[in-house]
Amino acid sequence: MKILHIISQVPDFTGSGKFIQQVIIQARARGHENFLVAGVQPGCDIPGGLISEDHSVFVRFGGIDLDFPIPGMSDSMPYESTVFAKMSSTDMTAYQGVFKEKIQESLDRFQPDMVHAHHLWVVSALARQLVPDLPMVATCHGTCLRQHRFCPGISQNIKKFLQKINCVMALSQSQKMEIMDLLCLDSGKGPDRDPALDQNIDRVAVMAGGYDHTLFQNGVKPRVSPVELVYAGKLCRAKGVPWLLKSLKKIEDMPFRLHLAGSGTGSEKQTCLDLAGALGPKVIYHGPLSHRDLAGLMGRCHLFVLPSFFEGVPLVLMEALACGCRLLVTDLPGVRDIMEPSDGKMIHFFDLPRLKNLDTPHEQDEGDLEEKLAMTLKQVMEEILENPAPDVGLIKKRTSPYTWEKVFARIESVYLSVQNSKFQ
């Protein structure tokens, strides 16, 4: 099968970027031919060896095709980015025009059998406009659902095209429900929808995310203090990093060392680094790490902490668990879908605080949030000091369905269902 992959961002650095890399790698291993349309900008090029030059077309931001930085599906990205909600109408028109041109170029050159787009947002809608009759699937990574809420005007303009995508692949059951509600796929109320789309295939299929089991493997854990903690992701408020650091400051007499891996931009990144600096040698900042280096770090750590206020299904959780890390994660619906039931030993949930919008706690609750998180961290660290060895049996049970080979097998089955439905 000839598959055209489309992502509006850099195919790296973020969860969706890592996801599309693996889809291309697995598709190639299964004998499919791949072509990629993606955004790039200076300092954010695609990984070497992912795809050949003659099978790729790029929208170049930062002064080449477009003057502004890449619009991010998250408002805080690990590289310089533009916020969709702050884009001018002129910039949005230019953005859509260049992506239309590049997608059309890829269609003319590659003549694909299938389109696989990422994010239920502007560029996926453009692709559906350009190929109304070609089999098309799209993966929702969660962040696009937030953009529909932040940018209702854009959302209203593109929904009618997103509704005509043959199958949307969700990362969790709770995300599936959000997608069906957003696109009115459960009620048939969507404007201009073709009812025939519903007859042969499940319009929203739960795929989940995957991890590279050849890299992320259970490591040898130190049997003495300090307890090695790790956070990997964007250094920003939405991920809860400032509150994690403030909470650790409250219990700095505990024997711990926190490893911060990842990047960010602007004042939010600087705030995180300043708070990390206040903890002195108890925090090591690694910056962005390769998958191989991250796997090595996780293999040496006892506890992975993700205090995020919003997530789809973060792939990093499965990677950390596969490396033998206990997990302390905010109690979010998508996370519960794959991590429940929790035995209270390897997987610990932390209650989500009241939010004044999608990913920001109320100021009056911040002190209580820090106190509760500090106490939970202390409790889990005490358990680790008593018994640092992970539960290998539980790890294997939870992670085995989520290798990339198994995840792509499910994706491939959707490709075949969509393709077959077009010829019935």
| Rounded Cα–Cα distance for residues 232 and 4 (Å) | 30
Other beta carbons within 10 Å of 420: 12
Single-letter amino acid, residue 316: V
Q: Is the peptide bond before 152 cis (omega within 30 degrees of 0)?
A: no
Would you state the torsion angle of the CA atoms of residues 216, 222, 226, 231, taken in this order, to the nearest 10 degrees?
0
Inter-residue contact 238 to 265 (CB < 8 Å): no
pLDDT at position 40, please? 96
Among the ranges given (209-213, 240-244, 361-365, 413-417), the one the predictor scored with the smallest mean pLDDT: 361-365
For tokens 């599906």, what's the residue?
73
Q: Of all helices (H) and strands (E), which one includes residue 261?
A: strand 256-261
Contacts (Cβ under 8 Å, ≥6 apart) of 23 = 5, 116, 139, 408, 411
Paired tokens of 411: 């994706």
Distance between CA atoms of 128 and 372, rounded to whole angstroms? 46
CB 387 within 8 A of CB 223: no
The whole-number average pLDDT for the span 179-204 is: 65
Average pLDDT, the chain: 91
Is it the case that residue 250 has pLDDT exceeding 70? yes
Give the tens place of pLDDT for each residue, 41-97: 998 878 889 999 999 999 999 999 999 999 999 888 889 999 999 999 999 999 999
Banded pLDDT at 331 (limits 50, 70, 90): confident
| Bigger pLDDT: 378 vs 201 | 378
**What does the CA dihedral 181, 186, 189, 195 come to, rounded to 10 degrees?**
140
Percent of the chain whose pLDDT exceeds 90? 72
The pair phi, psi for residue 118, each rounded to 5°, is: -125, 130
241-250 and 366-386 helices, crossing angle to 10°: 70
Looking at residue 200, what is its pLDDT? Answer: 46
Q: Are strands 33-40 and 2-6 parallel, antiparallel or unpaired?
A: parallel
Provide the 8-state DSSP code for 336: H
* 338 pLDDT above the threshold of 50: yes
Tokens 């949030």 belong to 369
State the span(s) of the chain assigned CATH 3.40.50.2000. Answer: 2-210+403-421, 227-401
Contact criterion met (CB below 8 Å) for 209 and 318: yes
**pLDDT value, residue 194:** 55
Amino acid 356: pLDDT: 73
What is the distance between the alpha carbons of residues 132 and 381, in angstroms, rounded to a whole number? 54
- List CB contacts of 125: < 8 A, sequence separation 6 or more: 158, 161, 162
Q: Using alpha carbons only, how large is the chain's radius of gyration in Å?
A: 21
Residue 86 per-residue DSSP state = G
What's the pLDDT at 189? 42
Considering only the top CATH level, what class is 2-210+403-421? Answer: alpha beta
Question: Could you give the strand order of the β-sheet that contains 303-306, starting from the edge strand earlier in sequence?
Answer: 283-287, 256-261, 227-232, 303-306, 326-330, 347-350
Residue 174: other Cβ atoms inside 10 A: 17
On whether the CB atoms of residues 28 and 47 are closer than 8 A, the answer is no
Burial label for 296, CB within 10 Å (0-12, 13-18, 19+), is middle
Q: Is the pLDDT of residue 367 over 90?
A: no
For the segment 357-379, the average pLDDT, to the nearest whole number, is 84
Top pLDDT among 396 and 312 is at 396
Residue 424, classified by CB atoms within 10 Å of its CB into exposed (0-12), middle (13-18) or buried (19+), is exposed
Cβ-based neighbours of 24, under 8 Å, separated by 6 or more: 5, 34, 36, 50, 51
What is the assigned CATH class of domain 227-401? alpha beta
Higher pLDDT: 303 or 223? It is: 303
Secondary-structure breakdown of the chain: helix, strand, coil percentages, each rounded to the nearest 5 = 45, 15, 40
Looking at this protein, which amino acid is placed at residue 171? L
Q: Residue type for 99, please?
A: F
How many CA atoms within 13 Å lie on the side-chain side of 36?
Answer: 28
Q: Which residues contact 180 (CB under 8 A, 6 or more apart)?
A: 186, 203, 204
pLDDT at 38: 97
Q: Can you tell me which residue has the tokens 């939870």?
A: 398
User: Per this entry, what is the length of the chain?
Assistant: 424
* Predicted pLDDT at 240: 92
